[in-house]
Amino acid sequence: MKTYRIQCRLGGWYLLSIFQREDDKTITEDFVKEIEKGNVSIEEEGVYRPDRLYFFYEEIENGNRSEQGAVSKKDGSRKQVESSVST
């Protein structure tokens, strides 16, 4: 089983769901089923254009990606990036 994070933005709303499936071949249909079951976080959002649909999904490996951050603290590259930025 693989874990997927799905984000959808439409009409001023942000929908988020994390669920497990064997593969991503039916990810859109699976997301709709999760909405029907009520397993989706829904928040009002005004950042994106409400007349457009934004649909993103990613496979989550080794836990929650958002906790890891854009630059890994474990490999030390965070220090290199921070020290190279001039103020």
Per residue in 18-47, pLDDT tens?
Answer: 999 998 899 999 999 999 999 999 999 877
For residue 45, with 0-12 CB atoms within 10 Å meaning exposed, 13-18 middle and 19 or more buried, which class applies?
middle
Q: Is the pLDDT of residue 82 over 50?
A: no
Strand 41-44 relative to strand 13-21, pairing = antiparallel
Q: Is the pLDDT of residue 62 over 80?
A: no
If you average pLDDT over every residue of the chain, what do you get? 78
Give pLDDT, residue 79: 45
Q: What is the mean pLDDT of residues 71-84?
A: 45
Band of pLDDT at residue 63, cut at 50, 70 and 90: low
